[in-house]
Homo-oligomer: A and B are copies of this chain.
Amino acid sequence: MDSAVLLDLLGNENRRRILRLLARRPCYVTEISEYLGVSPKAVIDHLRKLDDAGLVESRVDDQRRKYFSIARNLRLEVNVSPYEFGTKSAYPASRSLDMNRCRYLSLHVEPDGSDEADGSAGDGGDATETDGETKQRHGPRAEVNPDRSSEPDDSLAALTAELERLETLENELSMAQRWVQGRLTDVMDSLSGAFPDGDGRLYAELLAAVANGARTTTAVARRVDASPAVTADALARLEREGLLEQTGEEWRLTASE
């Protein structure tokens, strides 16, 4: 989903209240209307917008009354900094997380008593980005045993324990991301200041664009919103400084590991 569409939807207090309510339980329009103190017509209008965006969905009960619930998992992240206004939205990618693709991150969420061999339950077929060394880190192994029939109590306890691990991990990831954002700002400050002629900020943003995956001069120019000519000149200077290398049309950081 487009982050802009999502922000437009979430920019309305009543729509946020509807989502908060539906996250607790599926509801009929009349229930939402009473809870919010808003006319059924207005509620229907909000629900239609949320439905169009795929955020909520409706079903029909035994009495053929329509009720609404949240349709799917969705995550939105907004970063604001002197160097960035970035929005990112994503559906949780898959049931598996391939930690082999993570170079700088390890998670430790093995369930008690798990003896599975290698936890990185990757979706396979996507090993091209691994670099073939030191990739034996343990992936997250917070697997729930699907066969809980024999020991229901134990399994409930295991689920609750996993719930707590995941909630804790979520808070830790969030804290780590705030730290990364602060560090990124520091590094951009340092880079900007390292070019004495006043264009430091442009150079820092060019380097960040390349670091973040922009490869061609055109892609970099679009990312930093500078003209292709200015961008080409500045990239050439960064190449002379030994910070960038060009292979064919593609730029990469010389320092890239």
Decide if B186 touches A144 in the complex (CB within 8 Å): yes
A48 interfacial contact with B, CB 8 Å: no
Given contacts A20-B85, A105-B108, A176-B97, contact A160 B77 (CB under 8 A): no
A190 interfacial contact with B, CB 8 Å: yes
CA distance A22 to B84 in the complex (A): 8
CA distance A225 to B25 in the complex (A): 10
Decide if A16 touches B80 in the complex (CB within 8 Å): no
Decide if B255 touches A181 in the complex (CB within 8 Å): no
Decide if B22 touches A85 in the complex (CB within 8 Å): yes
A163 interfacial contact with B, CB 8 Å: yes
B-contact 0/1 string along A7-28, CB 8 Å cutoff: 1111111001001101111000
A177 interfacial contact with B, CB 8 Å: yes
Which residues on B sit within 8 Å (CB–CB) of A194?
148, 152, 155-156, 159
CA distance A157 to B190 in the complex (A): 12
Decide if B104 touches A109 in the complex (CB within 8 Å): yes
Name which residue of chain B comes closest to A90, CB basis.
B178
Decide if A80 touches B69 in the complex (CB within 8 Å): no
Which residues on B sit within 8 Å (CB–CB) of A239?
none
Which residues on B sit within 8 Å (CB–CB) of A179?
92-94, 96-97, 140
Which residues on B sit within 8 Å (CB–CB) of A13?
4, 8
CA distance A148 to B195 in the complex (A): 12
Decide if A191 touches B163 in the complex (CB within 8 Å): yes
Stretch at the interface among A36-44, A204-212, A228-236: A204-212
Given contacts A93-B175, A157-B254, contact A104 B168 (CB under 8 A): yes
B-contact 0/1 string along A160-204, CB 8 Å cutoff: 111111111110111111111111111110110010000001000
Given contacts A4-B16, A7-B11, A55-B80, contact A167 B205 (CB under 8 A): no
B-contact 0/1 string along A213-257, CB 8 Å cutoff: 000000000001100000000000000011100000000011111
Name which residue of chain B comes closest to A19, CB basis.
B85
Top 7 A-B pairs ranked by shortest CB distance?
A11-B11, A92-B182, A161-B255, A97-B179, A19-B85, A76-B78, A106-B106
Interchain Cβ contacts under 8 Å between A and B, 18 examples:
A7-B10, A7-B16, A10-B10, A10-B78, A19-B85, A23-B81, A24-B225, A72-B80, A73-B182, A74-B79, A75-B178, A76-B77, A102-B175, A156-B194, A160-B253, A164-B256, A165-B257, A173-B176
